[in-house]
Amino acid sequence: MTSRSSTRHPLGSTPGIAAPYDPWADLRLNWPHVKVVIERMTGDLLGEVRDDGQVIALRADTSAAQRRCTLTHELVHLERGILDCGPWLQREESLVHAEASLRLIPLASLVEAIRALGGADDPAALAQWLEVDSETLAVRLSRMTSAERRMLRRSLARQAPLWSVA
């Protein structure tokens, strides 16, 4: 379940190239029996898994980036196979959020986005560039390891600006 307050993966990723995970491709390839419905929802719900994993419902009045993030989130729930985790609900939710953010924002994509925007001062622009919602970006940034931070700094320092010509 994802609420509004809302990786590594072999699919769609090529070593060395920033190719973020595509949940719609994952759905077609690995979950062909799962039906996705887009519908109006009350409250702050963005999506949920229903019918014992047969249906994923996504909220209708959301952006493509939000639906992309929510679909990823629900697919991670399906992969983990823990649809009812009782008292561990909060822990499971935070693990699923973390995994979805890793998948959707590989470090290489983050480097590319920051370079393209000339910095990371504008989270909304960064999220838009990465085609994710702001919560997914916030989760990704808050869970970066110190090794990733070092790599990020190094990549940003090393790489010449995209527009440079020789």
Q: Which is nearer to Zn ion, 6 or 13 (CB)?
A: 6
Least distance between Zn ion and beta carbon 2 (Å): 5
Of 78, 95, 128, 104, which Cα lies nearest the Cα of 22?
A: 104
Least distance between Zn ion and beta carbon 110 (Å): 23
Q: Which is nearer to Zn ion, 112 or 135 (CB)?
A: 135
Least distance between Zn ion and beta carbon 136 (Å): 13
Give me Rg for the CA atoms of the chain.
17
Least distance between Zn ion and beta carbon 41 (Å): 14
The torsion angles phi and psi of 45, rounded to 5 degrees, stand at -70, 135
Q: SS in 3 state form for 67-105?
A: HHHHHHHHHHHHHHCCCCCHHHHHHHHHHHHHHHHHHHC
Q: Which is nearer to Zn ion, 95 or 144 (CB)?
A: 95
Q: Which is nearer to Zn ion, 5 or 164 (CB)?
A: 5
Least distance between Zn ion and beta carbon 34 (Å): 15
Binding site for Zn ion (CB under 5 A): 1-2, 93
Q: Which residue is nearest to Zn ion (CB)?
A: 1
Strand partners, 79: none
Cα(31)–Cα(136) distance, rounded to whole angstroms?
23
Cβ contact 119:163 at 8 Å: no
Q: Which is nearer to Zn ion, 93 or 148 (CB)?
A: 93
